[in-house]
């Protein structure tokens, strides 16, 4: 053998040996995300494989979809710290196997010391950042109360401890952080360092994918909740740690705020779209009403004939979105505090009238619908959504959030978790946009004890009286339009669920008066035709991140996670 060839082979061999030794020392992930999974009996889709795994284990132990969803939420509080939480809040829509529908609101509340103008300066201008970062941005957390209440009413596994224990173990023993989580943790170091002190598991010079994340303080808090129930969070040492943290900054939450927090069952928003019955979340989320409004506005038109991402279809859907978001800004807020005209907003007559100004060839100018201000979306979209269906056909669609990535960036030092920055979802001042560019008015003004308006849209769809689709997403203001479009992709454009989720999306929220689109969302010809109608565009990196389950005609369950989040994971059996 010529010498040079021998040297090359030797080099290759050494590289091979080196590669193998690296593999041995590289941190071993014990999970991998699966984007689509067809299951015979039960399915879970969540934003993290370790949380999906916990949900499936609970189902296999005899738990139902609510038990699994509860256990997944606690697990996400550990393995998905940018949005999974016990320091935030959320919404759960449930459809039991025999068709009973329920909606649980465990959205955060404004502390009792909150006031309408608390984020304004002496000249009445919004103080930048006050509602988004730091101690004053936090609403009273609702997640723990909501999960206990969902379990109390619908759980099958008797002892809630079994649903919390997997999260305790993940926090105590640690888990390997994903590449996405490492990237986010590195990106938010400045905020973490500004509002927290080391040692803190989230403060580090450079996180790497595969780093072991151990959260001892969070484990201790989860044990308090496991052993003392809801009171383990809302009273005693954990509550005291939250208030001590709040008082160390400029926050206003008190022990009494925490003690008084309760979740609330609501009448779900239910409406018909052709042969489909759509069940979704009422206020304090805007999701269900806005979704039903959009569906009802486009229903009279032959969307399937127009074709997927044709200029006619996109124009029609955008005009429906524009009108629904204009209504959202004016009419939607916490129905415990504001008389939301829910029935009127969903009446056929109103929605027909709403589309009377629709011109098939011309974009409507948003200012001609209602006046307002605008700015672009400036926060990334971080929330969690989990869809679950169990072997008995019970379905849960649950969305929960800290609002921004890692909420207000304040980590409760004595209890080991991030607090939300949900106060920014109120309208700090009429017409002034929040971090999602959403404007609001009186309906969503700050009041003590009130819940801030959300866009979370956990949704369940029936077809012919049977369970058909479970879906929802994180994504701030783009959640509602994503749920709308994925459903339309399946129902009108005949797509598989995977195609429907993966398809490019567009979003119009009335103000700013522009269509947000994902890069290359649709063909240049569609874009040019829309521009000729008077539409303009803003390109964004990505929209909401759907997690969905469809019951297939043969009875199997197709779970789909969204490629927009590398950690989205579908599983089942």
> Would you name the residues annotated as active-site residues?
383
- For position 459 contacting ligand GLY by CB under 6 A, the verdict is no
- For position 263 contacting ligand GLY by CB under 6 A, the verdict is no
CA gap 426, 316 in Å, rounded? 29
Residues 410-429 that bind ligand GLY (CB under 6 A): 422, 425
Q: From residue 187, how far is each of 179, 190, 202, 377, 545 by CA, in Å? A: 12, 8, 11, 18, 20
- For position 334 contacting ligand GLY by CB under 6 A, the verdict is no
Find, among 226, 246, 291, the residue nearest to 478 by Cα: 291
- For position 565 contacting ligand GLY by CB under 6 A, the verdict is no
Minimum distance, C-beta of residue 425 to ligand GLY, in the bound complex (Å): 5
Which residue number, 43 or 423, has a Cβ lying nearer to ligand GLY? 423
The only residue of 64, 455, 509, 565 in contact with ligand GLY, by rule CB under 6 A:
455
36 strand-pairing partners: 560
Secondary structure (3-state) at 202: coil
217-256 footprint of ligand GLY as x/- string (CB under 6 A): ----------------------------------------
Stretch that binds ligand GLY, among 72-80, 128-136, 263-271, 454-462 (CB under 6 A): 454-462
CA gap 298, 77 in Å, rounded? 38
Which residue number, 85 or 403, has a Cβ lying nearer to ligand GLY? 403
Residue carrying structure tokens 């866009």? 455
393-412 footprint of ligand GLY as x/- string (CB under 6 A): --------x-x---------
Which residue number, 64 or 400, has a Cβ lying nearer to ligand GLY? 400
Cβ proximity of 34 and 571 under 8 Å: yes
Which residue number, 105 or 390, has a Cβ lying nearer to ligand GLY? 105
- For position 318 contacting ligand GLY by CB under 6 A, the verdict is no
CA gap 464, 99 in Å, rounded? 12
The only residue of 476, 559, 561, 571 in contact with ligand GLY, by rule CB under 6 A:
476
Which residue number, 390 or 425, has a Cβ lying nearer to ligand GLY? 425
The only residue of 73, 335, 454, 485 in contact with ligand GLY, by rule CB under 6 A:
454
Return the beta strands (E) in 149-306 as ranges.
175-176, 212-213, 264-266, 269-273, 276-280
Stretch that binds ligand GLY, among 14-22, 128-136, 155-163, 448-456 (CB under 6 A): 448-456
Minimum distance, C-beta of residue 25 to ligand GLY, in the bound complex (Å): 41
Ramachandran angles phi, psi of 427, nearest 5°? -90, 105
How big is the CA angle at 382 (ends 381 and 384), to the nearest 5 degrees?
A: 130
Which residue number, 369 or 456, has a Cβ lying nearer to ligand GLY? 456
Cβ proximity of 265 and 104 under 8 Å: yes
Which residue number, 132 or 550, has a Cβ lying nearer to ligand GLY? 132
- For position 150 contacting ligand GLY by CB under 6 A, the verdict is no
Stretch that binds ligand GLY, among 67-75, 186-194, 450-458, 539-547 (CB under 6 A): 450-458
Secondary structure (3-state) at 77: helix
Tokens representing 67 are 């038990």
Minimum distance, C-beta of residue 455 to ligand GLY, in the bound complex (Å): 4
Minimum distance, C-beta of residue 285 to ligand GLY, in the bound complex (Å): 7
Cβ proximity of 165 and 226 under 8 Å: yes
Minimum distance, C-beta of residue 282 to ligand GLY, in the bound complex (Å): 14
Alpha-helix residue ranges (DSSP H) falling in 229-377: 231-234, 236-248, 255-260, 287-298, 303-306, 311-331, 342-345, 348-354
Stretch that binds ligand GLY, among 14-22, 56-64, 249-257, 452-460 (CB under 6 A): 452-460
- How many CA within 13 A on the CB side of residue 24? 5
Contacts of 273 (CB under 8 A, 6+ apart): 295, 296, 299, 487, 491
Minimum distance, C-beta of residue 108 to ligand GLY, in the bound complex (Å): 9
Minimum distance, C-beta of residue 90 to ligand GLY, in the bound complex (Å): 9
Ramachandran quadrant class, 462 (left: phi over 0; alpha: psi -120 to 50; beta: rest):
beta
Cβ proximity of 534 and 362 under 8 Å: yes
Minimum distance, C-beta of residue 368 to ligand GLY, in the bound complex (Å): 26
Minimum distance, C-beta of residue 114 to ligand GLY, in the bound complex (Å): 17
- For position 458 contacting ligand GLY by CB under 6 A, the verdict is no
Q: Taking the CA atoms of 368, 373, 378 and 384 in sequence, report the sign of the dihedral they define.
A: negative
Alpha-carbon torsion angle 105, 108, 113, 118, nearest 10: -120
Which residue number, 226 or 450, has a Cβ lying nearer to ligand GLY? 450
Which residue number, 454 or 489, has a Cβ lying nearer to ligand GLY? 454
Stretch that binds ligand GLY, among 114-122, 290-298, 346-354, 451-459 (CB under 6 A): 451-459
Stretch that binds ligand GLY, among 95-103, 171-179, 330-338, 449-457 (CB under 6 A): 449-457
Cβ density class 39-51: b for 16+ within 10 Å, e for less:
bebbbbbbbbbbb
549 strand-pairing partners: 470, 559
Minimum distance, C-beta of residue 385 to ligand GLY, in the bound complex (Å): 12
Which residue number, 34 or 380, has a Cβ lying nearer to ligand GLY? 380
Question: How many positions of this chain bind ligand GLY (CB under 6 A)?
Answer: 8
Ramachandran quadrant class, 265 (left: phi over 0; alpha: psi -120 to 50; beta: rest):
beta
Paired sense of beta strands 557-560 and 269-273, if any? unpaired
Ramachandran angles phi, psi of 253, nearest 5°? -70, 140
The only residue of 291, 456, 521, 548 in contact with ligand GLY, by rule CB under 6 A:
456
Which residue number, 166 or 283, has a Cβ lying nearer to ligand GLY? 283
What is the secondary structure of 413-432 as a DSSP string? TTTTEEPP-GGGGSBSSTT-
Minimum distance, C-beta of residue 483 to ligand GLY, in the bound complex (Å): 12
Q: How far is CA 243 from the centre of its chain?
A: 26
- Contacts with ligand GLY by CB under 6 A lie at 401, 403, 422, 425, 454-456, 476
């Amino acid at each position: 053998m010529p010498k040079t060839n021998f040297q090359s082979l030797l080099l290759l061999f050494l590289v091979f040996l080196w590669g193998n030794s690296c593999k041995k020392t590289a941190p071993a992930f014990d999970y991998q995300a699966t984007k689509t999974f067809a299951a015979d009996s039960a399915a879970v889709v969540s934003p993290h494989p370790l949380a999906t795994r916990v949900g499936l284990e609970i189902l296999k132990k005899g738990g139902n979809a609510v038990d699994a969803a509860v256990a997944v939420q606690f697990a996400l509080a550990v393995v998905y710290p940018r949005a999974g939480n016990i320091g935030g809040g959320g919404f759960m829509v449930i459809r039991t196997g025999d068709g009973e529908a329920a909606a649980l609101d465990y959205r955060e509340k404004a502390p009792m010391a909150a006031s309408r103008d608390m984020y304004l300066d002496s000249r009445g201008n919004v103080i930048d950042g006050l509602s988004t970062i730091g101690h004053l941005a936090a609403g009273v957390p609702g997640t723990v109360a909501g999960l206990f209440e969902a379990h109390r009413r619908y759980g099958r596994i008797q002892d809630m401890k079994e649903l919390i224990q997997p999260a305790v173990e993940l926090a105590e023993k640690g888990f390997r952080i994903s590449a996405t989580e490492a990237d986010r943790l590195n990106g938010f170091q400045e905020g973490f360092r500004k509002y927290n002190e080391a040692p803190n598991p989230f403060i580090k010079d450079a996180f790497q994918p595969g780093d072991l994340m151990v959260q001892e303080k969070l484990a201790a808090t989860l044990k308090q909740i496991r052993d003392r129930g809801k009171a383990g969070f809302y009273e005693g040492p954990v509550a005291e740690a939250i208030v001590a943290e709040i008082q160390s900054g400029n926050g206003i939450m008190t022990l009494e705020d925490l003690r008084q927090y309760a979740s609330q069952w609501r009448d779900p928003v239910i409406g018909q779209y052709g042969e489909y019955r759509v069940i979704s979340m009422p206020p304090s989320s805007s999701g269900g009403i806005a979704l039903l409004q959009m569906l009802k506005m486009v229903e009279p038109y032959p969307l399937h004939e127009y074709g997927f991402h044709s200029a006619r279809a996109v124009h029609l859907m955008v005009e429906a979105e524009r009108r629904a978001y204009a209504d959202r800004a004016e009419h939607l807020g916490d129905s415990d505090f504001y008389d939301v005209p829910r029935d009127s907003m969903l009446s056929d007559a109103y929605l027909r009238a709403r589309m009377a100004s629709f011109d098939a060839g011309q974009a409507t100018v948003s200012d001609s619908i209602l006046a307002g201000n605008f700015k672009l979306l400036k926060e990334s979209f971080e929330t969690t959504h989990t869809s679950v269906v169990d072997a008995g056909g019970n379905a849960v669609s649950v969305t929960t959030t800290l609002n921004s990535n890692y909420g207000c960036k304040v980590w409760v030092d004595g209890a080991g978790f991030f607090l939300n920055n949900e106060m920014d979802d109120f309208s700090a001042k009429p017409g002034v946009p929040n971090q999602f560019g959403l404007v609001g008015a009186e309906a969503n003004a700050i009041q003590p004890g009130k819940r801030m308006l959300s866009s979370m849209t956990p949704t369940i769809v029936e077809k012919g009286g049977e369970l058909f689709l479970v879906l929802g997403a994180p994504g701030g203001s783009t959640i509602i339009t994503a749920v709308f479009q994925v459903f339309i992709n399946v129902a009108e454009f005949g797509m598989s669920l995977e195609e429907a989720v993966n398809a490019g999306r567009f979003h119009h929220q009335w103000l700013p008066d522009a269509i947000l689109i994902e890069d290359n969302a649709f063909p240049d010809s569609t874009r040019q035709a829309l521009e000729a109608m008077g539409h303009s565009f803003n390109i964004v990196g990505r929209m909401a991140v759907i997690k969905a389950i469809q019951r297939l005609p043969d009875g199997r369950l197709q779970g789909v996670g969204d490629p927009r989040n590398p950690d989205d994971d579908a599983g089942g059996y």
